[in-house]
Amino acid sequence: MFIVLFGAPGVGKGTQAEILSAKLNIAHFSTGDAFRAAIKNETEVGLLAKQYVDAGKLVPDEVVTKIVAEALSEEKFSNGALLDGYPRTTTQATSLDELLHGKGQSIEAVVNISVERDAIIERLLARGRKDDTQEIIANRLDVYLSETAPVLQYYKGKQDLLREVDGNKSIQEVTAAILDTLHS
Ligand code: ADP
């Protein structure tokens, strides 16, 4: 089962993906984690991605598609994945459809988690990752609105895929709401 966890930076996609991965027995795949690992290991993709990740910009689609195609060919993702932070552009959304189509698979649900902007900024500043400074956060949120939010329109056009979840609640309440929407 392939499930997309969607939403702005800081809405809790990674936290929910970890919990849901254990509960649903589906492997978690975060493009952000994959890029951070590639940067740390100084791989070819890591060297290409570093300047973008550091600035809070989107890594170019062709580099993203490469890392995703490689990752999803791993055995642990053969039955599905909880996709976290991907797709983030409409080009990525169409290439994901093609990739899954080639495997005879498809997306089961797209869960859009929403949190107010001020709360997001507070959460990210508290997390304090290298790209969690005021300026880079503002940049990431702008990029989300201009390039990633339109992906929702893409999924709205696909019957019954999109589910809305309020992320302004406790971690447990958000998990319960996601499970509820997946089962309904
Ligand atoms: P957050 O969602 O909190 O910003 P992530 O760990 O998901 O954190 O992403 C961190 C950075 O990795 C992004 O700012 C971007 O540079 C890069 N990145 C992650 N996923 C993608 C993607 N699908 N397309 C392009 N860039 C990505």
pLDDT digits (tens, 9 = 90+) for 88-135: 999 999 999 999 999 999 999 999 999 999 999 999 999 999 999 999
For ligand 1, say whether the CB of 148 is within 6 Å of any of its atoms. Answer: no
Do 69 and 99 touch, CB atoms closer than 8 A?
Answer: yes
Written as six digits, the tokens of 27 are: 């492997």
Closest CA to 111 of 18, 19, 21, 2: 2
pLDDT band (50, 70, 90) for residue 157 = confident
Do 89 and 153 touch, CB atoms closer than 8 A?
Answer: no
135 CB-contact burial (10 Å; exposed 0-12 / middle 13-18 / buried 19+)? exposed
* Percentage of the chain modeled with pLDDT above 90: 97
Query: Which residues sit opposite 166 in a β-bridge?
Result: 114
DSSP type of residue 58: P
Span 64-81, pLDDT tens digits: 999 999 999 999 999 999
Written as six digits, the tokens of 146 are: 């201009």
Ligand 1: distance of its center to the CA of 36 in Å?
A: 9
| Whole-prediction pTM | 0.95
Judged by DSSP in three states, 56 sits in: coil
Question: How far apart, in whole angstroms, are the C-alpha atoms of residue 28 and residue 18?
Answer: 7
| pLDDT higher than 80, residue 159 | no
Span 95-105, pLDDT tens digits: 999 999 999 99
Query: Which residues sit opposite 112 in a β-bridge?
Result: 6, 164
Question: How far apart, in whole angstroms, are the C-alpha atoms of residue 22 and residue 18?
Answer: 7
Q: Looking at residue 149, which CATH number applies to its domain?
A: 3.40.50.300
Q: Which domain holds residue 178?
A: 2-182
Choosing from 15, 54, 59 the residue with most ligand 1 atoms within 8 A of its CB, the one to mutate for a pocket test is 59
For ligand 1, say whether the CB of 92 is within 6 Å of any of its atoms. Answer: yes
Taking CA atoms only, the protein residue closest to ligand 1 atom 1 is 9
Choosing from 35, 50, 61, 135 the residue with most ligand 1 atoms within 8 A of its CB, the one to mutate for a pocket test is 35
Give the nearest ligand 1 atom to 87 CA. Answer: 23
- Dmax (CA) of the chain: 43
For ligand 1, say whether the CB of 35 is within 6 Å of any of its atoms. Answer: yes
Ligand 1: distance of its center to the CA of 34 in Å?
A: 9
For ligand 1, say whether the CB of 28 is within 6 Å of any of its atoms. Answer: no
Number of domains in the chain: 1
pLDDT band (50, 70, 90) for residue 158 = confident
Ligand 1: distance of its center to the CA of 53 in Å?
A: 7
Residue 66's identity, in one-letter code, is K
Strands 2-6 and 28-30 turn out to be: unpaired
